[in-house]
Amino acid sequence: MTEATSEAGAVRSGGLVERRSIGVVPDAERHGRPVNQFTLWFGTNLQITTVVTGALAVVFGSGAFWAVLGLLIGNALGGAVMALHSAQGPKLGLPQMISSRAQFGVFGAAVPLVLVVLMYIGFFASGAVLAGQALASLLGAPDVLGIVLFAVITAVVTVIGYRLIHAVGRIASVVGALAFLYLVVRLCTSVDVPAILHPGGFDFPLFLLAISLAASWQLAFGPYVADYSRYLPRATSARATFWWTFGGSVLGAQWAMTFGAVAAAAAGGAFTGHEVSYIVGLGGAGAMAGVLYFVIAFGKLTVSVLDGYGGFMTITTIISGFRGQREVSKFARAAWIAAIMAAGTVLALAGRGDFLDSFSTFLLFLLTFFTPWSAVNLVDYYLIAKERYDLPALSDPGGRYGRWRMPALTAYILGVLAQLPFLSTAFYTGPLVEPLGGADISWIIGLVVPAVLYWVLTKRTGSVAPAETILPPG
């Protein structure tokens, strides 16, 4: 069966709106190729918020050269973790967070999931501020109207689902690449880029900050990355899925972040608070400015749709675990997505004034709660269960995985707490930050401590993994 035939069958069986939600995708409905992961994640990362994230390293005081190097290291480290989650999709055919029930229990998986929902709403809100500014400038309308219009468009694409999301990703990858090539040329012809990138004084805490910014950006994709690889045929190579996802996400993010770091260094104070207008002004005026405003809004659409889609999957994962549901109706799907978009829009309208500082604090603080989840999930899947799960038991509180699994919950909670002494944010700084010269290494602690704890606790209590993967009947 060809990819086109398989996709056509999927369309006939499910209509325009995606039919599947949190249930296992049957083999007959699998379609696509691993290269599709590249275009989705490349397009998702090559956008304005990624530019702002790269710029933050310079805004906080780092030289551009060391900022770019730190961002590269962070993207590579975080991207590897993120891509390991993506490789689970074809094997399991499940959204990412459903598989957490194998580690945390059918009810216990709700513990980290509540925070994941907040993450999706927060990221959508922060993106809507920038996309709303771009749409408003393109239409000559107030920012408020631009934000609301962006939310409506995002909701429509999210409701339609998987196939349209990948199509938008393919378009965004091409549009984004062309726009950023143009912007890079404009930047190189307007400022002395070699002088900006000349290695100056090295500040280790600021270098670690750049690593943390990029790593947190990549790790934040972890809770939903397998949602977009779960339709790939079961026989798809895990290695191919990993590398196409890793390549698209790291290349797209590093390109945008490097551009942001250099642009912020060149602009000085003119960048902060005027990110969209500065980048558009760099590209030109008139018709070209209109094109760039469109590109910014379209780029944000891609990642904002992922936030809405992931938020819907997470909420239904929480609710279905307690209700014993395996799927949800299309009406419920649309209602939950609308609720997520509404909450994010309210947050965007309320917090659009001091965006840059609020976003950086939010981004770094998120890392505290999601790196332990990633560590537990990956250790269980690759080292404990060795990619073997009982898929029907993921929906059965009385089954193999039970309601609550204490090894994972213990490792997760202790993993979060272990980071606090090393955490540095605008509203909390741990006691070990100053002895380290102000460096924030909490994300490293958040990966290592829960991984080791979960391994030790599971070995002592015994693994519940089946001898081989158990698929749903039928």
| Tens of pLDDT, residues 255-273 | 999 999 999 998 877 776 6
Which pLDDT tens digit goes with each residue over 288-331? 888 888 888 888 898 899 988 988 888 888 887 787 666 777 78
Which pLDDT tens digit goes with each residue over 137-194? 888 888 889 999 999 999 999 999 888 999 999 999 999 999 999 999 999 998 899 9
Question: What one-letter code names the amino acid at 448?
Answer: V
Closest Cα partner for 126 from 19, 234, 50, 232? 50
Of 26-35, 190-199, 220-229, 342-351, where does mean pLDDT reach its minimum? 342-351
d(CA 420, CA 194): 39
pLDDT at 126: 79
Examine the pLDDT at 458 and tell me if it is beyond 90: yes
pLDDT at 416: 94
Examine the pLDDT at 250 and tell me if it is beyond 60: yes
**Assigned domain for 13 exists:** yes
Examine the pLDDT at 81 and tell me if it is beyond 50: yes
**Assigned domain for 84 exists:** yes
Tokens of 337: 């997505």
Residue for token digits 């998987």?
Answer: 162
Q: CB of 380 within 8 A of CB of 450?
A: no
SS3 at position 387: coil
pLDDT at 9: 42
pLDDT at 7: 42
**Assigned domain for 445 exists:** no
Distances in Å between the Cα of 466 and the Cα atoms of 5, 352, 407, 471 are: 34, 49, 18, 11
Examine the pLDDT at 111 and tell me if it is beyond 90: no
Of 12-26, 93-107, 150-164, where does mean pLDDT reach its minimum? 12-26
**Assigned domain for 434 exists:** no
- The count of structural domains within the chain is 1
**Assigned domain for 22 exists:** yes
**Assigned domain for 323 exists:** yes
pLDDT at 433: 87
d(CA 279, CA 156): 28
What is the percentage of the chain residues whose pLDDT exceeds 70?
93
**Assigned domain for 432 exists:** no
**Assigned domain for 454 exists:** no
Q: Residue 247, exposed/middle/buried by CB under 10 A (0-12, 13-18, 19+)?
A: middle
What is the percentage of the chain residues whose pLDDT exceeds 90?
45
Rounded to two decimals, the pTM is 0.89
pLDDT at 448: 95
Q: Identify the CATH number of the domain in which residue 36 sits.
A: 1.10.4160.10
Q: CB of 170 within 8 A of CB of 43?
A: yes
Examine the pLDDT at 120 and tell me if it is beyond 70: yes
Q: CB of 293 within 8 A of CB of 140?
A: no
Residue for token digits 């942001």?
Answer: 260
Of 127-136, 167-176, 207-216, 439-448, where does mean pLDDT reach its minimum? 127-136
**Segments forming the whole domain that contains residue 293:** 3-356
Task: Write phi, then psi, for 390 (nearest 5 degrees).
Answer: -95, 95
